[in-house]
């Protein structure tokens, strides 16, 4: 039997691909040699008996999924449902009165509750009516607080591995009823079986043998997106195998948390992982294309990584041949696509998310000033020119235009907050006036970027979720207008000081480039 070589497209983080967008993607990856496509849908698929499930989120209708299933089959691609049956259901739980009674805590379903399994059966029944594949991914990852909410109050404290494993057996009984072969992310089972917090830790794996009573037909999906260490991958593959079940590997094609992809890092990390998969006889490989923090990055931007993965598994190593295969499959230059990575590489630190951090860095609060003090404004101007003049853009001219417009914004804004602060502290009013002029230029360029980004979004996705981009960019525009007004008031002598600019610049320990962490240290959401 042919081994699985798949791509998983996240359609749950505010960007549900349009039907045509999925078809276009399937066309490309089929030419690369992929035989599987997963649509990751937490609540973004239709369940006829659940009108609130995926309401206003752009969910796939059952007819749309049937159409896609038939189309993919014609390409030799198996379309596989990829859902959640335990955690990662935070958007479903926004409909509080509908689903709070089956919520354990956080975004986790209440295990052991009959109403929970009624909903899960409705989920799986819906998938069975739409997909011809007998495979189904039922999730179950990152349920960190399983059993610690309503479950704890109702049943008392229990062995959390047993809680999640009993839940898995209940769910697998349902998948059996509908003829599915289920697979799960393995992280929670490794962590709870080994009593560890890091699934990648070097541990005494004999503990697994005391716990390994998973359903017979389950497939474990070991996911790892972060390392270039071959030995780590080998160790973790062997750890997963100790459960005595089929194991496949899920690598990362990084687009999450930023506007820019990370093809360079993804290719390096997956190169080590795929070598380990070959040596350890892994039964299949999935490349995940997650959309954490609202899928700001196009899922097409990571196509070089998908090409390199397919080529590596097919034994193709010649770079010129790989680039030629990419151009044949995508209709665009490989080297031109690799320009997208550069938006986040202003200081040649590919995991620092420079482009996003500098875009959202507040002009007065400056939470990311420490990142932009040494950024060369000319870097983004040159990148904009490269994107504009890139060769053989194929049918992706709209994507190049969007990235070019973003680079044009960053050409001025990248160090604007630092220049404002420096001019203020030095009492240089001429420099402050120049900064006010730059604020006006940034506002005009942000408008151009917003229009280009909207065009790209609508080319690839359903309109649902674009509202989040509008809220973020709209908030950024209004905030720049407000900051500009403050500077003008200071220049005119209408205010004596700008207190925010007297605060020291400190490296930010607040964890990553998520928008809500970038834009302000002040409270954005309700909490105590």
- Answer whether residue 524 is part of any domain: no
Instruction: Provide the domain count of the chain.
Output: 2
- Answer whether residue 419 is part of any domain: yes
- Answer whether residue 104 is part of any domain: yes
In this structure, the strands spanning 108-109 and 135-137 are unpaired
Does residue 367 sit in the same domain as residue 475? yes
Does residue 396 sit in the same domain as residue 455? yes
Helical axes 19-32 vs 319-330, angle rounded to 10°: 150
DSSP 17: B
- Answer whether residue 171 is part of any domain: yes
Check which CATH number belongs to the domain holding 433 and give it: 1.20.120.670
Does residue 177 sit in the same domain as residue 30? yes
pLDDT of residue 508: 73
pLDDT of residue 510: 63
Nearest to 463 by CA among 19, 57, 31: 57
Cα separations in angstroms, 147 against 86, 123, 157, 170, 198: 11, 22, 7, 16, 19
Does residue 299 sit in the same domain as residue 184? yes
Does residue 349 sit in the same domain as residue 224? no
- Alpha-carbon distance of 207 to 248, in angstroms, equals 21
- Answer whether residue 525 is part of any domain: no
- Alpha-carbon distance of 396 to 271, in angstroms, equals 27
Query: In terms of C-beta distances under 8 Å and separation of at least 24 residues, what long-range contacts does 369-372 make, across chains too?
Result: 369/417, 369/418, 369/421, 369/505, 370/505, 370/506, 370/507, 370/508, 371/347, 372/414, 372/415, 372/417, 372/418
- Residue 377: Cβ within 10 Å count: 17
Domain hosting residue 260, numbered range = 4-330
Q: pLDDT per residue over 100-114, tens digit each?
A: 999 999 999 999 999
pLDDT of residue 509: 67
pLDDT of residue 527: 52
Does residue 206 sit in the same domain as residue 133? yes
Look up the pTM and report it: 0.96
Does residue 363 sit in the same domain as residue 297? no
Does residue 293 sit in the same domain as residue 400? no
Check which CATH number belongs to the domain holding 168 and give it: 3.20.20.80
Residue that terminates a domain, selected from 299, 330, 361:
330
pLDDT of residue 204: 66
Helix H or strand E segment including 286 = strand 284-289
Contact (CB, 8 A) for 199 and 187: yes
Q: Which residues of the chain have pLDDT under 50?
A: 528
Does residue 244 sit in the same domain as residue 350? no
pLDDT of residue 463: 98
DSSP string across 426-446: HT-HHHHHHHHHHHHHHHHHH
419: alpha, beta or left? (left if phi > 0; alpha if psi -120 to 50): alpha
Does residue 10 sit in the same domain as residue 130? yes
Does residue 147 sit in the same domain as residue 195? yes
284 strand-pairing partners: 4
- Answer whether residue 526 is part of any domain: no
- Answer whether residue 456 is part of any domain: yes
- Alpha-carbon distance of 506 to 174, in angstroms, equals 52
- Alpha-carbon distance of 16 to 289, in angstroms, equals 13
Residue that terminates a domain, selected from 330, 347, 370:
330
Does residue 49 sit in the same domain as residue 166? yes
Cα separations in angstroms, 360 against 147, 316, 364: 38, 41, 12
- Answer whether residue 260 is part of any domain: yes
Residue that terminates a domain, selected from 310, 330, 350:
330
pLDDT of residue 528: 46
């Amino acid at each position: 039997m042919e081994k699985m070589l798949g791509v998983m497209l996240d359609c749950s983080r505010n960007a549900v691909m349009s039907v045509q967008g999925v078809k276009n993607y399937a066309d490309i990856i089929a030419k690369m040699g992929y035989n599987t496509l997963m649509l990751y849908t937490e609540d973004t698929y239709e369940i006829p008996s659940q009108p609130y499930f995926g309401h206003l989120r752009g969910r796939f209708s059952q007819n749309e999924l049937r159409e896609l299933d038939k189309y993919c089959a014609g390409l030799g691609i198996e379309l596989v449902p990829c859902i959640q049956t335990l955690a990662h259901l935070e958007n479903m739980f926004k409909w509080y009165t509908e689903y709070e009674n089956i919520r354990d805590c956080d975004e986790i379903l209440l295990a052991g509750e009959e109403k929970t399994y009624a909903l899960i059966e409705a989920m799986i029944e819906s998938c069975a009516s739409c997909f011809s594949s007998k495979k189904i991914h039922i999730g179950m990852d990152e349920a960190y607080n399983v059993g610690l909410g309503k479950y704890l109050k109702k049943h008392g404290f229990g062995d959390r591995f047993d809680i999640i494993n009993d839940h898995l057996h209940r769910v697998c009984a349902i998948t059996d009823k509908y003829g599915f072969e289920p697979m799960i992310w393995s992280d929670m089972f490794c962590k709870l079986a080994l009593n560890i917090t890091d699934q990648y830790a070097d541990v005494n794996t004999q503990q697994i043998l005391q716990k390994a009573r998973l359903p017979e037909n389950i497939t474990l999906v070991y996911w790892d997106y972060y390392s270039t260490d071959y030995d780590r991958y080998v160790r973790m593959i062997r750890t997963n195998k100790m459960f005595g079940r089929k194991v496949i590997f899920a690598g990362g094609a990084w687009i999450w948390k930023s506007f820019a992809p990370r093809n360079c890092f993804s290719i390096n990390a997956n190169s080590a992982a795929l070598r380990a998969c070959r040596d350890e006889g892994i039964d299949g490989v999935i490349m995940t294309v997650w959309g954490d923090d609202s899928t700001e990055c196009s899922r097409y931007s990571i196509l070089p990584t998908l090409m390199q993965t397919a080529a590596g598994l097919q034994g193709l190593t010649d770079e010129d041949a790989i680039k030629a295969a990419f151009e044949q499959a995508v209709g665009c230059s490989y080297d031109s696509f690799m320009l997208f990575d550069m938006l986040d590489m202003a200081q040649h630190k590919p995991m620092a998310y420079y482009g996003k951090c500098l875009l959202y860095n507040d002009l007065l609060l400056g939470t990311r000033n420490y990142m932009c003090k040494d950024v060369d404004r000319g870097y983004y101007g040159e990148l904009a020119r490269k994107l504009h003049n890139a060769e053989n853009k194929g049918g992706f001219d709209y994507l190049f235009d969007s990235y070019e417009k973003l680079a044009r914004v960053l050409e001025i804004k990248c160090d604007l907050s630092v220049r404002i602060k420096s001019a203020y502290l030095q009492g240089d009013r001429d420099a402050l006036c120049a900064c006010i002029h730059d604020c006006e230029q940034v506002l005009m360029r942000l408008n151009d970027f917003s229009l280009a980004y909207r065009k790209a979004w609508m080319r690839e996705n359903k309109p649902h979720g674009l509202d989040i981009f509008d809220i973020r960019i709209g908030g950024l525009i209004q905030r720049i207008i407000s900051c500009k007004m403050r500077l003008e008031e200071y220049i005119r002598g209408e205010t004596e000081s700008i207190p925010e600019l007297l605060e020291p610049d400190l490296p930010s320990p607040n964890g990553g480039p998520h928008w809500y962490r970038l834009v302000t240290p002040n409270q954005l959401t309700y909490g105590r």
